[in-house]
Amino acid sequence: PPSYIRLLKLEMANNHEKGIVGGGGKPPLSMGMSLGNNNSGGQALGGPPSGGSVFGIYEISEYTSVDLIQDEEFNFYCKFVEINNFFKGRNGKRERTNFLQQKVSESGEGHQDVVLGLFYGILADPENSNQLCQYLTMIVRDNFKFLIEAMITLIGARYQKFFLRTRRQLLWLLERVFPLNPDMSIQVLALILRYVENGKMSGFNLDPLQRVMHLMQMNIEFILTQKYYSTLFFFKLLRLVDEHSRSDQDGLRDMEISLVVKIWKEHSKSCMTIGRDLIRLLREVSGVA
């Protein structure tokens, strides 16, 4: 039955956490998981905090919500647990790197498994994200194509349920990947900006937005070469300027205005195709310096 399958998934995750190959036993009473707790000796990478989250990157608080878990997302978690279990008791960077490179060289599927595991680890374990990102850079073989595709898939399915720290880690990783594959990374940037909620002034919404603005400023020269995305960003940013001009977010508003002006100077004709909505919005912001 579906209810049993959902509980079995939780039991599988619990067994992966403990390094158990087979199943058995009762389903875990807690949905929280922590990869950092191990008694087998050695230092593991650490992991997501326990309580209210199966994967440690977004909120799932009820058993009835477990059916939201897709096999692909559960796979992210399992691949990281496999890497984490190997790292227990193996502190040498060379030994860990050799293990990952061997997995990658076995097949294309092995490469994807390692990328997914490290990606999940970066999102769920901020304390070790620098180390995990170094491993990721050393083993990736497709110019981060598969990683970016995984980012797009996960954002589209779960971004609104992400914890704030997960959103921060996602943008932290994107900042490092963008210069290496800007053609695909800009898709991730556009998707994240789409999920910035208009009218919400909470840190949960503003903190990622500030990071997005910083990322756009760092890569504005490339963005201006992309007419479609420039026009898309222009309209979204102009709406945010309108909102933030009526709040105390002066610093954020100034960053938005700077980007809007740069895009307008380069792509004014393209921006004009937005039509009536643009005219209405320009009227609203006409008093903003």
Q: Once rounded to an integer, what is the mean pLDDT over residues 84-106?
A: 86
Q: Using alpha carbons, list the distances in angstroms from residue 71 to 74, 219, 288.
A: 5, 34, 48
Q: Is the dihedral of CA 85, 90, 91, 97 positive or negative?
A: negative
* Per-residue model confidence as pLDDT tens digits over 142-173: 999 999 999 999 898 888 888 888 999 999 99
Average pLDDT on 194-221 reads 84
pTM here is 0.77
Is residue 133 scored above 50 in pLDDT?
yes
Chain centroid, CA 281 distance in Å:
31
Helix (H) or strand (E) holding 261: helix 250-272
Q: How large is the average pLDDT for residues 96-100?
A: 90
Rounded to a whole number, what is the distance in angstroms from the first to the last CA of the chain? 62
Containing H/E element for 13? helix 2-18
Residues ≥6 apart with Cβ < 8 Å to 138: 97, 100, 101
Mean pLDDT for 94-100 is: 89
pLDDT of residue 62: 41
Span 55-74, average pLDDT = 52
Rounded Cα distance, 127 and 267, in Å: 41
Report the candidate in 127, 102, 111 with the shortest Cα–Cα distance to residue 46: 127
Cα–Cα distance list, 83 to 28, 70, 119, 214 (Å): 22, 21, 11, 32
Q: What is the pLDDT of residues 243-276, one digit of tens each?
A: 876 666 778 888 999 999 999 999 999 999 999 9
Among all chains, which residue has been given the structure tokens 């789409």? 194
Dihedral sign for Cα 156, 158, 164, 167, please. negative
**Residue 72 pLDDT:** 62
Which two structure tokens, joined as six digits, stand for 197?
Answer: 């909620």
For residue 281, what are its two tokens? 């919005």
* Mean of all residue pLDDT scores within the chain: 78
DSSP 170-212: HHHHHHHHTTT-HHHHHHHHHHHHHTSPTT--SHHHHHHHHHH
Structure tokens at 98: 């050799």
The mean pLDDT of 85-105, rounded to a whole number, is: 86
- Res 119 pLDDT > 90: yes
Confidence of residue 43 (pLDDT cuts 50, 70, 90): very low
Chain segment 173-183, per-residue pLDDT in tens:
999 999 999 99
pLDDT at 223: 97
